[in-house]
Amino acid sequence: MITTDDGVRLWHAVDGTGPPLALVHGGPGLGDNLGPLAELLVHHAQVVRWDQRGSGRSDPVGPHTLDRYVADLDAVRRHLGPDRWVVGGHSFGATIALHYALAHPERTTALVYVAGVGTGRAWRRAYREEADRRLSAEQRERRDALFARERTPDEEVEWRALAWVPDFADPDRALPLATVEARRSPFPICWEANRALGAEVRVLDEEAVLARCRRLDVPALLLHGADDPRPPWAIAALAEALPQAQVVVLPGAGHLPWVEAPEAVRAALTAFLGEVSGSRG
């Protein structure tokens, strides 16, 4: 645990050797689920994971804002000691990583943006339509019924699994893979964080964010599954704005590409980390 400037305790873990790499989990309101991704990289980086405030093993308190989460991530950096590090995130965690890099470019060696949704809002409708398309009518009905009521622990696993089935590319493996992910974390979802951060992101000024991105002159890797229901085209404006962006779209992978295409993810990330390390001399 570390303690932030406002007294909140944050859980974190450090594994591996090499240049420091922060991995920021998604949500908002979920705990860390990036252990399997970290395992792919421990021979190439010192991987730092953490539970955002309100989630997982960290204290269940707010406030829940992008600025506060960026400050929390920098509190982790200060505690561990590196002057600079590679900042990476998955899904909503990619949004946090991006905003960290925008706020602290001098502390950011590079940005890793995995399965993010870009800076706009058009992706939401496309995602919801595609997610519904990937479920049967019975699955959609069950998902919605479970969401609308207080759930037992077993029902919580079932609901999360049904909600995450569309995140996988292979329809034959989607339900078992989603169930594994649903069982990975025993911690409740922090709905307060989910609602507050979701509302904040929806009203961000996209052009203002993109203008800041055009000034972010650090290497950036945007990694996206070709079969992610959050459409790959949503990151196009972000990729165009970042001066040193490279985009890798992985075939046969969905929203958690390290689950369905681990070797391709390892190859893309280790090559990028090698380039970043080499560019630093």
The closest of 152, 139, 148, 223 to 178, measured between CA atoms, is 139
* CA distances, 215 to each of 1, 77, 98, 255, 273 (Å): 34, 23, 13, 28, 22
Pairing of strands 12-15, 108-114: unpaired
pLDDT of residue 160: 97
Residue 280, CB-side half-sphere exposure with 13 Å CA sphere: 14
pLDDT of residue 279: 57
Max CA-CA distance within the chain?
56
The C-alpha atoms of residue 179 and residue 216 are separated, in whole angstroms, by 38
Give this prediction's pTM. 0.96
Q: Residue 38's CB: how many other CB atoms inside 10 A? A: 20
* SS3 category, 3: strand
pLDDT above 70 covers a percentage of the chain that reads 99
The C-alpha atoms of residue 160 and residue 62 are separated, in whole angstroms, by 24
pLDDT of residue 186: 84
Q: Residue 163's CB: how many other CB atoms inside 10 A? A: 18
| Domains identified in the chain and CATH numbers | 2-124+189-279 (3.40.50.1820), 132-184 (no CATH)
* CA distances, 241 to each of 3, 218, 228 (Å): 35, 12, 22
Which segments of the chain have a pLDDT < 50?
Answer: 281
What confidence tens digit (pLDDT) does each residue in 2-29 have? 999 999 999 999 999 999 999 999 999 9
